[in-house]
A = this chain, B = another copy of it.
Amino acid sequence: MSEWEKNLLDIAPYVAGEQPDNDKIIKLNANENPYPPSPMVEKALAELDAKELKKYPDANGTPLVKLLAEKHGIGTENVFVGNGSDDVLALSFRAFFNSDKPILYPDITYSFYPVWCDLLKIPYKLCPVDENFKIDPKDYYAENGGVVIANPNAPTSICEGKEFILDILEHNKDCVVIVDEAYVDFGTYSAVELISKYENLLVTQTFSKSRSLAGMRVGMAFGSEKLISCLKAVKDSYNSYPLDTAAQTAACAAIEDEVYFMRTVMRVKQTRDDTAQSLRELGFKVLESGTNFLFASHPDFSAEQIFSYLRENGIFVRYFKKPRIDNFLRITVGTDEQMKLMCELLTKLIIK
């Protein structure tokens, strides 16, 4: 190995879910929304003056920040936007977790948390969820350098209410608590209302799921002015203009079409609940979901077996070869037609 190679960062490449380049495949493996973004997004992008792209974008996403602040009845100083929830969360880890004490999060949760900890040299400790994949708030009473809770949690789909979040906050006044609400719009309690009471609370959300804008990479955070200004300083020193003009335009249009948002979210929830019922009728154990996906296992067929069977039949779901969850599948809620097709295929496999 040459001398310069010794100083390359030694990091294992992250392996993302398959993104098949085939329109016939039914993709239920990335928790994308089955419905397109609001027609207002299409209109706004069509009206975007390409000539303006010669100029740098608004560095702070000012119009988008304003719309988000209005929507939540908070100040613009309480809102931060970034290049997807991943960007916002990674910056937050960098900005807030500088203690020698370990940060705490569940053993089963979003797989990027340990990756960021490794990359940013943040000590962490996993708190095992119980046998029903529930998080025990008492695990987070321990001394720590920060807490991260995904609510709803992924890939379990389980959501918790206000009391749970308050319990965590009341026992963690000496560290920053991040509540990652990527899936919150599909029917879970949002902690945004608590940011005025808890200055150490940061809530993150995304346009990728409920707003159907995964392709535009827009995420946001809500918190006290102190947290948000620290986040801004880190962002500005890393990359002053992460959100391009088109992404800002699309996100603004999506926020403004509240009716479309409500309607598509409602549809996804209805399809989710119908699918959960159908799967249970086929013998599946399906966790109660507060998200746009289902976490399910079957007593007679291994998750890997069902995963391969569906894959052969043109349906991609997500299977994690990891301890504790390797007999579960994470199935993104698609359209009614897609779910029907999947359930028919599963019926053939299970009932024969």
Interface residues of A (CB under 8 A from B): 2-9, 11-14, 16, 19, 27, 30, 32-37, 41-42, 45-46, 48, 50-59, 83-84, 86-87, 90, 94-99, 112, 115-116, 118-119, 145-146, 173-176, 199-200, 208, 212-217, 226-227, 229-230, 232-234, 236-247, 250
Contacts and interface: CB of A to CB of B under 8 A. Distances in A.
26 contacts: A2-B173, A4-B174, A4-B176, A8-B96, A8-B226, A9-B98, A9-B233, A13-B232, A14-B233, A14-B236, A32-B55, A36-B51, A36-B52, A37-B53, A37-B54, A41-B50, A45-B50, A53-B215, A53-B216, A56-B208, A87-B239, A90-B238, A94-B119, A119-B238, A215-B244, A244-B244
Contacts of A116: 237-238
A3 to B, nearest CB: 4
A210 to B, nearest CB: 11
Nearest to A213: B53
A217 B236 contact: no
A98 B7 contact: yes
A214 B53 contact: yes
Contacts of A245: 215-216
Nearest to A12: B233
Contact of A7 (B97, B118, B244): B97
Residue of A59, A95, A233 with highest tally of chain B CB at under 10 A = A233
Contacts of A9: 94-96, 98, 230, 233-234
A334 to B, nearest CB: 11
A301 to B, nearest CB: 29
Contact of A95 (B8, B57, B115, B242): B8
A97 B45 CA distance: 40
Contact of A145 (B7, B238, B247): B7
A94 B216 CA distance: 25
A48 to B, nearest CB: 7
Contacts of A232: 13
B16 A54 contact: no
A119 B237 contact: yes
Contacts of A90: 238-239
A12 B233 CA distance: 7
A51 B41 CA distance: 9
B7 A45 contact: no
A7 B146 contact: yes
A3 B174 contact: yes
B226 A244 contact: no
A90 B5 CA distance: 18
Given A8-B96, A174-B3, A36 B50 contact: yes
A243 B87 CA distance: 12
A8 B99 CA distance: 9
Contacts of A227: 8
Given A4-B200, A7-B145, A55 B236 contact: no
Contacts of A236: 13-14, 16
A50 B214 CA distance: 11
A249 B174 CA distance: 45
Given A96-B7, A115-B237, A246-B45, A212 B53 contact: yes
Nearest to A62: B21
